[in-house]
Chains A and B, each alone.
Chain A
Amino acid sequence: AQSVSQHNHHVILSEAASLELGCNYSYGGTVNLFWYVQYPGQHLQLLLKYFSGDPLVKGIKGFEAEFIKSKFSFNLRKPSVQWSDTAEYFCAVNLNAGGTSYGKLTFGQGTILTVHP
């Protein structure tokens, strides 16, 4: 069965610090990878996605992620965080079967990011 593991439950940073959130998945087939963010009181929003091609993907608000196939990892990065980045971040995976993705996302446990001004 697919599983997704996020390394940190809670990360606390000061503004302007760099961020890296780890995500590893276990599945041997072809997968699609996502990072979603949930700001306080808001719904889940897509930060970035990887389907194929360049393993370094850029998302909204200055976030990027790198897919390393050999390590089954898809880590999220941001060079300089802001107070407004305080939120919960979820890594997610779904199966890419025969070129068609199915609507079953497997999520990691989530990482709460707190950024102090």
Chain B
Amino acid sequence: KAGVTQTPRYLIKTRGQQVTLSCSPISGHRSVSWYQQTPGQGLQFLFEYFSETQRNKGNFPGRFSGRQFSNSRSEMNVSTLELGDSALYLCASSEEIAKNIQYFGAGTRLSVL
């Protein structure tokens, strides 16, 4: 099976712009979670989607949003970018079973100038 695929791998944006990141989960996985990784804050949970519904949300401002499509692919959007949004954004997918394991993609490196 193909792994979790994130596109694009790298992005450069300027303050005030918005950005959309994409994640294709492993085939058959219906849960997709997003994380932000920075040197200062480490890995922080953004949100989780399952069956096109947001099931969990982390402590991030409303500028961060996401959605999931019927084929389980997910997108996250950041509006009005700030310098502090520069980070590696990771997507993980998992099966909806009692003992699920999250499998991570390579991430999208976002730089905000």
- Where the two chains meet, the residues of A that have a C-beta atom closer than 8 Å to any C-beta of B are 32, 34, 36, 42-46, 49, 51, 90, 92, 99-110
**Docked complex Cα distance between A99 and B96 (Å):** 11
- B56 contacts the other chain (Cβ, under 8 Å)? yes
Known contacts: A43-B104, A44-B90. The answer to whether A103 contacts B50 by CB under 8 A is yes
**Is A100 a contact of B102 with CB atoms below 8 Å?**
no
Q: CA–CA, A69 to B107, complex, Å?
A: 33
Q: Which chain B positions have C-beta within 8 A of A103?
A: 31-33, 48, 50, 55-56, 92, 94, 100, 102
Are B100 and A109 within 8 A (Cβ)?
no
Q: Does B84 contact A (CB under 8 A)?
A: no
B1-51 interface with A by 8 A CB criterion: 31-33, 35, 42-45, 48, 50
B42 A101 Cβ-Cβ under 8 A: no
- Structural contact, B58 and A43, CB atoms closer than 8 A: no
Q: Find out whether the CB atom of B98 lies under 8 angstroms from the CB atom of A100.
A: yes
How many residues on chain B are close to A (CB under 8 Å)? 27
Using CB atoms, name the residue of chain B closest to A100: B98
Q: Verify if B105 is at the interface (C-beta below 8 Å from A).
A: yes
Considering residues A102, A103, A110, which has the most beta carbons from chain B within 10 angstroms of its beta carbon? A103
Q: Is the CB of B107 within 8 A of A43?
A: yes
Q: How far is the CB of A59 from chain B (nearest CB, A)?
A: 12
- Contacting residue for A43 out of B33, B96, B101, B105, CB 8 A: B105
